[in-house]
Amino acid sequence: MSVTAALGFVASGVHAHIRKEKRDLAIVRSVPLATGAAMWTQNRVLAAPVVVSKRHLETAEPQAIVINSGIANAATGAQGETDAIATADRAAGLLGLAPEQVLVLSTGVIGAPMPMDRVLAGVDAAAAALSPHGGDEAADAILTTDTHAKTAVSHGGGFTVGGMAKGSGMIHPNLATMLAVVTTDYPLEPGEALEFLRPAVDVSFNSITVDGECSTNDAVILLSSRAAAIQRTPATDEAFVLALRTVCSELSHQIVVDGEGATLVAEINVSGAVNAAEARAIAQRIATSPLVKTALFGHDPNWGRVLMAAGSAPFNGGYAQLDPALVSLSYNGTAVLVGGAPQDVEPNVDGAVCTIDLDLGLGDGRAGYLTSDLSYDYVRINAEYRS
Amino acid sequence: MSVTAALGFVASGVHAHIRKEKRDLAIVRSVPLATGAAMWTQNRVLAAPVVVSKRHLETAEPQAIVINSGIANAATGAQGETDAIATADRAAGLLGLAPEQVLVLSTGVIGAPMPMDRVLAGVDAAAAALSPHGGDEAADAILTTDTHAKTAVSHGGGFTVGGMAKGSGMIHPNLATMLAVVTTDYPLEPGEALEFLRPAVDVSFNSITVDGECSTNDAVILLSSRAAAIQRTPATDEAFVLALRTVCSELSHQIVVDGEGATLVAEINVSGAVNAAEARAIAQRIATSPLVKTALFGHDPNWGRVLMAAGSAPFNGGYAQLDPALVSLSYNGTAVLVGGAPQDVEPNVDGAVCTIDLDLGLGDGRAGYLTSDLSYDYVRINAEYRS
């Protein structure tokens, strides 16, 4: 159901022939007047649809989103912006909206021009196909190198949060990290969506990595149809926070599991750092280390590499604080290092999930990160992507 | 000849059975009273020999270096320091030096204890084997996953600079980036070596990367026997600067060519950045991007990935400045992007060398970086390293 699980939403996914063999264009729309917010890639190179959508979001509440896969419409110069605007215009005309109420997202190859005849015909087809049952087709249409769709739904007392995401490479936290659309009927007030979205994204999409890359197109969008007939209280707000976090966390976990070439998911937990920011820097450094990730692929608890990575986590122009004599480290609950002293054990890391707990023994800073291993298939997928 | 090319040096490399099948322990010594300097890893986790050698260097001029491969003596707690000190002590006794005059370097697996009986017997054998012709054996003994030895020699007018290096994974700039010993007979004054070494290292060892990793053991050491019978002038100093830079650059180039799994060397040249520091941040980000490196492995001029990486180069807590509308980019001299406008060309990147020139059009900042591609073999080597 994904984005159509909540009341008030319709969606569709069609094959616009931007890609050869699969659905490649989706529309998500709130039928009642919606409120929403987005978080965007921090890359200095913004794709044209990101530039256009940010501008639209400054002037109007978003009501519909057009998403295509296959071509990212990034590094496409002035023509790229013209194309993104034309896409929003076409959808707005068909849906009876102002162009500014339509957001446009694209994902795929950077630098290629948009085949606008196909894109616009696809918008026509997708607008005609909009349905309260179209969530799964939309979730399929936004995929690129993903091997399966990513959807999640959480029901609160009287309201629903649902979402879809795509992303398996170029996955790295920096506000937005891929494309995700989360919809809800929880009655948010205009202007409120961002304050709910930001903390949920920080602990989910911003705490995963596949390859440390930050794309030009990443975005997470939250739309509320405000269609749930419930009276808001602090308790329902709390339930909504929880449901939103659950959906974001499930989607981001699915992204790591489906990471390009991933055979294993590792949960990196850092504690005892001097503060949360340094804990996060260290967790991120471990989660992106090619040597840690290749060792995980080899199911090798080569903890020296974790220590090496932890000791070289960039922070504030230097490295995050770490005293090797205080460090404790365990794999799947088996301690390999206690207070700096190596333990003569060989932890079992045979499974498809590996938990690495690193305690720095310095303070109260904590952070967690999900990452995948670095496999032959990651190399194959990315060496052959365009061929 | 490597470290024994310059007058006054003897060296040796022996098989101490720390590793199964190859030479694994080297000694380099200046026979005349030497002066020297070192640059060390910036990792917060320092290997025991780095801790001990830094301490020795604070109190005495270095005269000899003991280097073992196979075990890094890192994350080995108090025993590791005891072992590094015992190694220096044994060499000092055999060579008629004070323990503080001996530096100790180790490279190999992190977290394993040193087999001290074998190490000390190896020191005995290496000390007995010291010879003015031992440079190549020493260069062989320090290798780990390297596929061949790295040596370089440059002759100035009346003096010589020679060096050896090891390193093919965990290669990343941060002061020191691997092990390298450079020797010269150029008559440096005590205390002078570091000011010559630092700029040479910045443009060589600190401007290469294989996998973005910064090891716990990295070190570059410069020793001068002061044995060349020449009168120093500003002109000879300049010739020495050039020879030292040549040797450091040749060694670092050899390291990238021999990068774990490398099939291609890419030279990343960034110009037009707002300053040199931002140019360097951008060049480093491109040089370490898994997506850029896998595209290079696929001989795919997928320039969108270069742009994506350039737009997300960490700098001062944010990203280095870049305006997509001003960026020009070329592969092997063929422009794919001019002032932000994509060119409809397909550059040839079939060869084993690829030059990527990125002009940001913002200012005068320039930086260069050498990197390798990311191949199946990198994954294989690092997934199987301990098995």
Q: Which two tokens stand for residue A306?
A: 């974790």
CA pseudo-torsion sign A47, A51, A53, A57: positive
Among candidates B45, B290, B295 on the partner chain, residue whose Cβ is nearest the Cβ of A324:
B45
- pLDDT of B274-286, one tens digit each? 999 999 999 999 9
Shortest alpha-carbon distance between residue B313 and chain A (Å): 8
Q: Which two tokens stand for residue A257?
A: 């599991």
Is B353 in the A-facing interface, judged by CB distances under 8 Å? Answer: no
Residue A350 scores a pLDDT above 70: yes
Rounded to whole angstroms, the Cα distance separating A209 from A368 reads 11
Question: What is the tally of structural domains in chain B?
Answer: 2
A313-333: average pLDDT: 91
Q: Which domain holds residue A27?
A: 2-257
Residue A294 scores a pLDDT above 80: yes
Shortest alpha-carbon distance between residue B214 and chain A (Å): 7
Q: What's the complex ipTM? A: 0.73
Q: Do A203 and A129 fall into the same domain?
A: yes
Under an 8 A CB cutoff, do B300 and A383 touch?
yes
B346: number of Cβ within 10 Å: 11
Rounded to whole angstroms, the Cα distance separating A95 from B17 reads 76
Q: Do B227 and B358 fall into the same domain?
A: no
Q: Which two tokens stand for residue B226?
A: 């002061």
Under an 8 A CB cutoff, do A111 and B307 touch?
yes
Geometric angle at alpha carbon A343, from A339 and A344, rounded to 5°: 170
Q: Which of B239, B257, B275 is the last residue of a domain?
A: B257
Cβ atoms of A67 and A26 within 8 Å: the answer is yes
B207-226: average pLDDT: 79
Under an 8 A CB cutoff, do A311 and B111 touch?
no
The CA radius of gyration of chain B, in Å to the nearest whole number, is 21
Q: Do A68 and A152 fall into the same domain?
A: yes
Is B305 in the A-facing interface, judged by CB distances under 8 Å? Answer: yes
Dihedrals φ, ψ of A131, to 5°? -155, 150
Q: Do A316 and A188 fall into the same domain?
A: no
Rounded to whole angstroms, the Cα distance separating A153 from A17 reads 29
Q: Do B210 and B308 fall into the same domain?
A: no
Q: Do B237 and B104 fall into the same domain?
A: yes
Cβ under 8 Å to B: A residues 126-165: none
Q: Which two tokens stand for residue A71?
A: 């071509």
Rounded to whole angstroms, the Cα distance separating B65 from B39 reads 14
Q: Which residue has better confidence, A49 or B177?
A: A49
Q: Which of A257, A273, A289 is the last residue of a domain?
A: A257
A172-194: average pLDDT: 77
Residue A323: pLDDT band (50, 70, 90) is very high
- pLDDT of B291-305, one tens digit each? 899 999 999 888 888
Active-site residue B371, yes or no?
Answer: no
Under an 8 A CB cutoff, do A300 and B386 touch?
yes
Going edge to edge, which strands form the sheet with A179-184? A35-40, A219-224, A179-184, A160-166, A150-155
The β-bridge relationship of strands B150-156 and B318-319 is unpaired
Residue A77: pLDDT band (50, 70, 90) is confident
What are the residues whose beta carbons fall under 8 Å from the beta carbon of A151, sequence distance 6 or more? A1, A2, A135, A136, A139, A162, A163, A164, A165, A251
Look up the CATH number of the domain holding residue A27.
3.60.70.12
- Of all residues in chain A, the one with the smallest CA distance to B340 is A77
Question: What is the structure's pLDDT at A383?
Answer: 82
CA nearest B84: which of B63, B59, B56? Answer: B56
pTM of the predicted structure, to 2 decimals? 0.77
Number of cross-chain residue pairs from A and B with Cβ atoms under 8 Å apart: 215
A273-281: average pLDDT: 94
Q: Which of A212, A235, A257 is the last residue of a domain?
A: A257
Q: Do A133 and A68 fall into the same domain?
A: yes
Q: Report CA-CA distances (Å) from A156 to A182, A185, A254, B138, B139.
A: 15, 10, 21, 69, 67
- Mean of the per-residue pLDDT values of chain B: 90
Q: Do A19 and A97 fall into the same domain?
A: yes
Residues of chain A contacting residue B300, judged by C-beta atoms under 8 Å apart: 383, 385-387
Cβ under 8 Å to B: A residues 11-50: 42-46
Q: Do B208 and B351 fall into the same domain?
A: no
Residue B112: pLDDT band (50, 70, 90) is confident
Q: Which helix (H) or strand (E) holds A270?
A: strand A265-273
Look up the CATH number of the domain holding residue B287.
3.10.20.340
Q: Do B172 and B305 fall into the same domain?
A: no
Under an 8 A CB cutoff, do A385 and B211 touch?
no
Question: What is the structure's pLDDT at A210?
Answer: 66
Q: Do B240 and B359 fall into the same domain?
A: no
Geometric angle at alpha carbon A253, from A308 and B316, rounded to 5°: 45
Q: Do B295 and B237 fall into the same domain?
A: no
